Structure 1
């Protein structure tokens, strides 16, 4: 019995996703309210129409809980780092430092929301850039919703080659391509599209900030930053993909400092009527005159140093990465013959090289540093932990529900029906929609890596069936996946958590969705003419 791919089942397959969007965008539901409802609908659809049994549902929910644990550890550790900095009153000092480095307010926003966020994506990823930079943007006067929007789109270009190219390597392994020339060509398509994403995101942020006046003022800086980041990624993707985000992002931070010394950006400048700024709250943070700039940045220095030390020194990375655990799951199948193979070690967590370990270590060492210098009180750890747990619980519930929905849809064949339906209808015109498949995967899973694992083989097979160039289709897959990370509800939750606006995910999604869909459409048009 084969899985039916027809209009009825296609509507059934896409309904949970549409419902999630309607609840979040149309009814202003937060992810913690919308996700459980759509999870229930997905469960009922699986049982009634996709012939899934309780055993399959149990296994997929177990996988979802395990996947959620990996993300929740990151959420907890990132919030802990934030609370340590907050307790030390570091943000007022950081704000002064950012202002001194970039007197131009627009350049300052790009520094935090694009450059610094991309640097964090280069070494950590997994939502950390949004978690860390959202409160920093609020500290310089950005409205909380926009403080989440800006880094979400600002660092999305780094979603493929960031985190030492984990998403890129996952896709290449998934499709089993070993020819260096083919890999290089796929990387060229991918990095070219991501170059456009990088530049477009910075222009969009400038427009959000000040309309055409913002575009005019930011034009030179954006072009130079994009040439450094996006152009650098194009070059390094052909030489060393693992460092194709980290090195350009590091250089672009230096570039910001140099730009701020030129006549274009050296003086203080802002748009008073900017719709994304809250002027009367921009200086509301409590001051701590005993704190130096290096003191305030210390936890972030530690995070960068620890991460690079562990990930870039191969013997240490190999040794610490040797400790891992992943649960095993039995094979399951649906009445339509969709088989989920037995897994002996599912999605293993490597605790000593996991992003949460870098964050937790930085928070712990930062606390010790501040305590020894007398910056925070001895008993403050109880308040820090209490606030961290309080913020972690609601966002964790939303993450669990969203990933559970994704796992059930993948396990029962709903995701396959969605993708096959699109390819059957479009034929050779499928290239127009190929970026949307990658976007869909990231939207559902919150991860470009997971999107590539989920749809990499499908995109490859579809390209071969329709006679399309698989190099460009795979480039569209992971570039679309990068766009998708900016609208993934799970990632949005991370930002709204540290921005203290949990429940406003629909507002954030409504602002980013037009940008994400338009850019995915542009990618499709470009590839249509290249095929």
Structure 2
């Protein structure tokens, strides 16, 4: 096969073209995410073949890896989205939101409870902009303006995205970097401590200004510490798929307790007026989440965990070598899908048990499953195509040596300052694509290749990538569009972006400094 012979420095520079095409198609040319992903994948195939010497059979293996990895992640996304849409149709989401509205009397407590705790809870199992769409009307009902409500919802849920959607982004970064979850989770939990607290303080500042920050800041610090501890512990114990859910539930419970205590002690019975759904009480609405927590803990950490790990699905794939000598390792049982521990299976079981209870209670509108399936298909179709082609692009780039060449160039360009830059690569990828999962797929391999070249701990840099992606995804343009629509202020997306973006950039900068200091400490300790 004929390939074009080029110096290594030029190959390093050219390797960025598919990523530039992906981001440029979205931002400069105004393409859809699907079109950008397909074009960038095609570019990666052509370039890997004629510039980097990827043979046709090796390209086919890389694409098969992409399909298998995509299926692993998409099963989580489809199941999580179906659960959210199903419960939304039954009024469960509205019931939970209204219960929170009725229980919080103080403005800072309402702001934190709805914009930070409840939004993170929704992100924990849903995603797809659902936290923004659901929370903005509640914040407006609590008396906050449209732009402020949308910006607060965007920033407020961004801490929960990596472990949100039942861990889809968490699994994506594991799969593309080949770093086991037990190595990655402690670093993610540690790096999320400051973003959790910063996003809470940001919600207060967005909605209530400096006065609200002064009065509610101490509460945000205390609750944020409890949420961060819960997130870290959950991830550390193998419960990554529900880490955001548990952290949000702990934070919301504390805030609810503070709000209800204040109302009782002050004798203030005034609450924000909200309509009663008359459909589900709070515990029936929360039933599937109770079940998710119990089932996940049983599957991941309980006595059943050892047996559950024995059922593994995957494909054995051979190693490949390019004409330039770059070798991609052989894979055993790729992508190692532990069926009984997979979040989609846990969601399906929780949904089945919930359905039994709801039917017994007479809460089961005719045709609800069919309509929810149709809506899930419409909502997930575009995202599924995007994820598929982006993952195939990433695997083709990795197996052809393009990522390796790009990492060499990035090491030369940035050098020791790379830990500061690492979270912002995650922010950039997620901001442009609207998804932390997509950002992890597009940037994850590049991040750890660069880390290895610089002698940095790959798990630390992979964690920085996903934390940055979480912060960037929350304030991406598509979330601003959802927020504007939910607030009834379509056309003010730019104002929402200007209000929300600085807070996430500040949080990303703090993470970058943390990663730099930790990297230097580890180097000194080594």
TM range (shorter): 0.7 to 0.9
Q: Which moved more, 1:339-348 or 1:165-174?
A: 165-174
Structure-1 residue corresponding to 2:289: 300
Structure-2 residue corresponding to 1:466: none
1:224 corresponds to which of 222, 237, 260 = 222
Q: Give the whole-Å Cα distance in 2 for the aligned partners of 1:173 and 1:196.
A: 26
Q: Give the whole-Å Cα distance in 2 for the aligned partners of 1:396 and 1:523.
A: 30
Contact 1:42 1:405 in 2 (8 A): yes
Q: Give the whole-Å Cα distance in 2 for the aligned partners of 1:384 and 1:193.
A: 36
Q: How does 1:46-445 map to 2 (within 5 A)?
A: 46-104=48-106, 107-108=109-110, 110-111=112-113, 114-115=116-117, 128=126, 133-138=131-136, 140=138, 149-150=154-155, 153-156=158-161, 174=179, 193-212=191-210, 215-216=213-214, 218-230=216-228, 242=238, 251-261=250-260, 263=262, 288-313=277-302, 315-436=303-424
Cα deviations by residue, 1:157-200 (Å, 9 ceiling, x for unpaired): 868xx89x98999999959x9xxxxx99x96x876543222222
Q: How does 1:11-22 map to 2 (within 5 A)?
A: 11-22=13-24
Q: What SS class does the counterpart of residue 468 from structure 2 fall into?
A: helix
Q: What SS class does the counterpart of residue 345 from structure 1 fall into?
A: strand
Q: Give the whole-Å Cα distance in 1 for the aligned partners of 2:364 and 2:188.
A: 46
Contact 2:151 2:500 in 1 (8 A): no
Contact 2:72 2:335 in 1 (8 A): no
Change (3 A) 1:520 1:293: closer
Per-residue deviation at 1:335?
Answer: 2.2
Structure-1 residue corresponding to 2:524: none
Q: Give the whole-Å Cα distance in 2 for the aligned partners of 1:351 and 1:147.
A: 37
Query: What is the RMSD computed on CA atoms of the aligned residues?
Result: 4.8
The gaps in structure 1 that reach 5 residues or longer are 178-182, 271-281, 464-469
Per-residue deviation at 1:223?
Answer: 1.5
Change (3 A) 1:25 1:113: farther
Change (3 A) 1:404 1:306: same
Cα deviations by residue, 1:47-68 (Å, 9 ceiling, x for unpaired): 2322223222221221111111
Per-residue deviation at 1:426?
Answer: 3.9
TM-score, length of structure 1 as denominator length:
0.74
TM-score, length of structure 2 as denominator length:
0.74
Q: What SS class does the counterpart of residue 348 from structure 1 fall into?
A: strand
Per-residue deviation at 1:146?
Answer: 5.4
Change (3 A) 1:352 1:292: same
Contact 2:322 2:400 in 1 (8 A): yes
Cα deviations by residue, 1:339-395 (Å, 9 ceiling, x for unpaired): 112213111212221111122222333333222222223433322222222323222
Q: Give the whole-Å Cα distance in 1 for the aligned partners of 2:207 and 2:256.
A: 21
Q: Give the whole-Å Cα distance in 1 for the aligned partners of 2:334 and 2:71.
A: 13
Contact 1:191 1:230 in 2 (8 A): yes
The gaps in structure 2 that reach 5 residues or longer are 141-145, 521-526
Cα deviations by residue, 1:403-462 (Å, 9 ceiling, x for unpaired): 122222222222222222122234444444354567689888548699777754752452
Change (3 A) 1:328 1:352: same
Q: What SS class does the counterpart of residue 317 from structure 2 fall into?
A: coil
Contact 2:52 2:323 in 1 (8 A): yes
Q: Give the whole-Å Cα distance in 1 for the aligned partners of 2:45 and 2:501.
A: 26
Change (3 A) 1:492 1:524: same
Of the two structures, which has the highest relative contact order with CA contacts closer than 8 Å and spacing of 6 or more? 1
Q: Give the whole-Å Cα distance in 1 for the aligned partners of 2:106 and 2:201.
A: 16
Matched length: 490
Contact 1:80 1:363 in 2 (8 A): no
Contact 2:120 2:248 in 1 (8 A): yes
Contact 1:13 1:417 in 2 (8 A): yes
Contact 2:328 2:399 in 1 (8 A): yes
Contact 1:130 1:148 in 2 (8 A): no
Q: What SS class does the counterpart of residue 325 from structure 2 fall into?
A: coil
Q: Give the whole-Å Cα distance in 2 for the aligned partners of 1:420 and 1:289.
A: 61
Cα deviations by residue, 1:230-258 (Å, 9 ceiling, x for unpaired): 36768x69x96657957765543332123
Q: Give the whole-Å Cα distance in 2 for the aligned partners of 1:444 and 1:380.
A: 30
Q: Give the whole-Å Cα distance in 2 for the aligned partners of 1:337 and 1:362.
A: 49
Contact 1:195 1:230 in 2 (8 A): yes
